[in-house]
Amino acid sequence: MNEVADRDSVRHMKWWGWGIDGVGFHHEDKPGFAPFVKFAVGLDLDTAERAGEPSFDELNVPASTASDDFINTLTAIVGAGNVSTDDMARVVHTYGKSIRDLIRVRGNAILRSPDVVIYPADEAEIQRIVDAAVTANAVIIPFGGGSNIGGSLEPIPAERRTIVSLDLGRLRRVIDIDVESGLARIQAGSQGPDLEEQLNKQGWTIGHFPDSFTHSTVGGWVATRSSGMQSDKYGDIADIARGMRVVRPGGVLVLRPLPSTSSGPSVREMILGSEGRLGVITEVTVQVHRVPEKRDVYAYFFPNWKTGIATMQAISESDAAPSITRISDSRETAFSLATSKDRKGVSKFMAESALPGIMKAKGWNLDDICLSFIGFEGSVSHAKRQKSLVDAIVRKHGGMGVGTGPGILYDQKKFDTPYLRDFLLDMGAAGDVSETAAPWSKLVQVHEAVYAAANDAYEKLGNGGWIMSHMSHSYHSGACLYFTFAFTFGDDPIAEYNLVKNAIQQAFVDNHATISHHHGVGLEHSPWLTEDISAQGVKIMTGLFESADPGSNFNPGKILPSSTAPVTAPAARKPTVRKPTVRKPAAVKPAVRKPAAVKPAAAKPAKAK
């Protein structure tokens, strides 16, 4: 892929949901899913009417306000075929993929769209675009894969200047690899599958696999301080990204890929998480690693959440260095087991009889069990050594290993979760996420506080709701907690969503946790920024943005607390969702769930791809 990609090859997700057309969540082959959803949020999938695909023709898309002169200026830079004021292109580039985004776009509540979408071929064209836009006092919003769920892409409704969505989709090459140093130069518009395929062909991997991997870009990862599923081994993007090139008015900010530096306050750190407010990221130099000789993901069960968390902490403090340490609480474990496919024969016996029998013999309450996935990568001897260390810690804490069978399932399903959000929305329910990080000493407290806050919000709504969680990334001093919440809509989906989401976010900061571990700030989380980094922290950040972008041309309104944050913005009309047939409060605990199909520890492990 050495040639410059053309605009027609740039892939975008469908305008009304996640992923590409024709791909979605299906539950027909998962017999436990419908009963679980009915129990959790009172939604009867057998009788509820599912909304059909919304009609683009029914949208009221704000007209482009870009002048002919400005369009001509952009066209002279990139060519007529790479500038678009088409309604579909502008809608695709209006929002990310949060629940609030999807409710508004389905509900015909697009208050402001980009006026023009432009597809540059290289950094030189981006420089000319930036200079022209700043000269014209236009707004520039960089666009990668469109997967953001924090409101980082949304144009501010009150913006009266011309808004340019600068799509980096044509810049998706791995430029070169410094084999001796393990450094790869990658164009910022490279989506996860593109860059990993190019690296794999030469025997390398970036090791960064966020949930959004299939539809997000390396530039977007840097702009939002992304974290991946294997960050325990490879680090998050702040650890992986070593060098950057960022187009700014009049020139390019160049950060060389140095292993470490003491060159004053870190400009590199300023770019990480800047969400397009300091310029347009065009290139990232990242650490890469040789594709591991062996990679396995093993499953473990624990009798309860506190035991599982204590085990994860012990692993983080030990000599073991797994690539993944993840544990689901009892509710998420129940959900995971409910989404397993139908089982037969030996698999059915092991899942529904043998394994539950072993757990009961240990005195475990099946309502409390927690499922964990732990990954091991490297040479055969290294992976074996890491697993032996982890197994000893698991046994010491009273857990049990069940082999690689569920780990293979985890690998297969790890990028499918966002499709469930669309499915629930089609059925009249919200399903969304909030994530945070806290010290080990506060982790259980945060978990309990968030549950209490969400359940209190559900009670105020007067209908059932569900919340579940997993610990997804471990550090020496703490870990990331990732919460998924769901509830059925009433008459005002945006207000109801705000009530639940806001309660969860407030519980984070009230209990010594951060407002976001890896989803960024955008508009969604900015109201809590002062509580997270203090008033003086916000003052310093404000000074940075005002100094670096005095005209407020780069993605204005994001990150800093602002009255423009759409936390109470109503939909223009009822979104394309359906009310469920059944609505009832969810119980605090799920009914007894039996473990999903797993292989016994003695079974021959299958190597995950």
Where residue 179 sits, what CATH number does that domain have?
3.30.465.10
Residue 351's pLDDT is 60
pLDDT digit string (tens) for 488-541? 988 899 999 999 999 999 999 999 999 999 999 999 999 999 999 999 999 999
Query: Would you list the DSSP string of 547-592?
Result: HH-TT--BSTTSSS--TT--SSPPPSS--S----S---PPPSSPPP
Q: Are 608 and 297 in contact (CB under 8 A)?
A: yes
pTM over 0.85, yes/no:
yes
Residue 103 lies in a domain: no
Judgement on whether residues 347 and 403 belong to the same structural domain of the protein: yes
Residue 235 has a pLDDT of: 93
Residue listed under structure tokens 């599912």: 50
Sign (positive or negative) of CA dihedral 206, 149, 103, 564: negative
Residue 234 in any domain: the answer is: yes
What is the rounded CA–CA span in Å between residue 205 and residue 213?
13
Strand, helix or coil for residue 594? coil
State which H helix or E strand residue 177 sits in.
strand 174-178
Q: Which amino acid is at 1?
A: M
Contact 106, 575 (CB under 8 A): yes
Domain count, the chain: 3
Please indicate, yes or no, whether residues 214 and 274 belong to a single structural domain of this protein.
Answer: yes
What pLDDT is stored for residue 79 in this prediction? 96
Q: Looking at the structure, tell me whether residues 300 and 371 fall in a common domain.
A: yes
Count of CB atoms situated within 10 Å of the CB of 32: 19
Asked whether residue 55 is domain-assigned, the answer is: no
326 shares a domain with 282: no
Same domain, 376 and 464: no
The residues facing 470 across adjacent strands are 328, 482
Whether 75 maps to a domain, the answer reads no
CB 583 within 8 A of CB 464: yes
CATH number of 310's domain: 3.40.462.40
What CATH number did the domain enclosing 458 receive? 3.30.300.330
Cβ count near 469 (within 10 Å): 24
User: Is there a single domain that holds both residue 392 and residue 455?
Assistant: no
For residue 316, what are the CA distances in angstroms to 319, 393, 557, 558? Answer: 8, 11, 38, 34
Q: Are 434 and 544 contained in the same domain? A: yes
191 DSSP assignment: B
The catalytic residue positions are 482
Residues in the chain with pLDDT < 70? 1-3, 341-353, 407-415, 563-609
Give the tokens for residue 141.
């919003």
Q: Is residue 450 part of a domain?
A: yes
Residue 187 DSSP SS3: strand
Q: Quick one: 436 and 533 in the same domain?
A: yes
Q: What is the pLDDT of residue 562?
A: 74
180 and 275 co-located in one domain: yes
Distances 458 to 9, 41, 285, 577, 588 between C-alpha atoms, Å: 44, 10, 45, 19, 12
Query: Same domain for 199 and 253?
Result: yes
DSSP-derived secondary structure letter, 217: B
Would residue 123 count as lying in a domain? Answer: no
Residue 142 covered by a domain? no
Residues 275 and 377 in one domain: no
Shared domain for 439 and 413, answered yes or no, is no
The confidence score (pLDDT) of residue 415 equals: 64
* Residue 78 near residue 129 (C-beta atoms within 8 A): yes
Q: Is residue 363 part of a domain?
A: yes
Q: Would you state the pLDDT for residue 350?
A: 53
Which pLDDT value is given to residue 565? 45
Are 586 and 466 in contact, with CB atoms under 8 Å apart?
yes
Residue 67 token pair: 């002048």
Any bridge partners for residue 300, and if so which? 372, 401
| Boundaries of domain holding 491 | 428-548
The pLDDT value recorded for residue 570 is 32
Full DSSP string of 220-232: HHHHHT---TTHH
